[in-house]
Amino acid sequence: MEFTEQFLEMMIAERGIAKNSVLGYKRDLLDFNIFLIDQKLSALDVNTEHINSFIKFLAAKNLQARSINRKLSTIKTYYAFLVSENYTTHNPVLIVDLPKYSSKLPLILQVAEIKELLDCCDLDKTPEGLRLKAMIHLLYASGLRVSELVSLKLSNLLKSTNKSEIKKIFTIDGKGNKERHVVINDQAISSIREYLLVRDLFIAPHNPKNMLYLFPSIAESGYMTRQNFAILLKQLAIKAGLDPNNVSPHVLRHSFASHLLEGGADLRVIQELLGHADISTTQIYTHLQTNYLKKILNECHPLNQAINDYE
């Protein structure tokens, strides 16, 4: 479509969206363009009925409702841009009925399972073991996104007045280049301090860029890739006797948020720590909390216990 590049440039310049998000927007608009070509339509001629036809077009390709909704969200934002630039006077997505889908609750680990992972890490005193332990402690202590964790710079973490001291509260540029505060506990600081003694072993001399990062790597980016960290986590899960399919960086982030909520933390605080732009994204953890309360009620209510005694 003729305005796609202008739209993407605006999203990067004004909203500071990440590279992966740009690619996602581009794919969504490419799919929409395929539909327009099939229907012999110009983007500026599209009305609500055409959008409904596009939904059917995607459904016929066995696309899930969640994926269809994401594409419609992209197109809605695209037409809002076209309206703002006076290319058209209406947004055809505004009054479309979105496909319904059930929201899947995120997978989390129990506190005991987190401890099993860390206990297993404690047995590995190699530089790789110390690095993995520091990464897990840091992720579970802070709720960082995996991309934020692996690309964390050493300068974010160390005090400028004392390069050997680790900050308990530091700032990062999170999703959408939005700055936010990250808070970590003493255990995370201790494991990072232990890892820093061997960090130089992971610095490749031919790639000076990796000197900047807390978790340097021979990767072109200069830091450990998300994929490599995910693989290391799954290998650790197997050693710890846990199902590797239930262990990932994102599961640790979900576990951090859910365990905070169980411990009585305010939802707004969790939103701030996770870097969610909208609290509705954070509210998924209240559903997890409801399930937890039901479990406690079933296990601890005296009448339920009396029934179990008779069984």
* pLDDT for 216 beyond 90: yes
In a domain, 183, yes or no: yes
Residue 309 within a domain: no
59: in domain: yes
Report, as residue numbers or ranges, the catalytic residues: 145, 175, 250, 253, 276, 285
Q: How many domains does the chain have?
A: 2
E strands present in 107-231: 169-173, 179-183
The answer as to whether 166 is a domain residue is yes
76 and 141: one domain?
A: no
76 and 125 fall within a common domain: no
Name beta bridge partners: 169: 183
SS (H, E, C) 240-266: CCCCHHHCCHHHHHHHHHHHHHHCCCC
Mean pLDDT across 83-110: 83
Identify the DSSP state of 182.
Answer: E
257 in a domain, yes or no?
no
On average, the pLDDT of the chain sits at: 86
pLDDT tens digits for range 234-252: 999 999 999 999 999 999 9
CATH number of the domain encompassing residue 211? 1.10.443.10
Whether 30 is in a domain gets the answer: yes
Tokens of residue 187, six digits:
């255990």
Question: Mean pLDDT throughout 200-226?
Answer: 87
pTM of the model: 0.65
Torsion of CA 191, 197, 202, 206, to 10 degrees: 140
Locate tokens 């934020």: which residue?
148
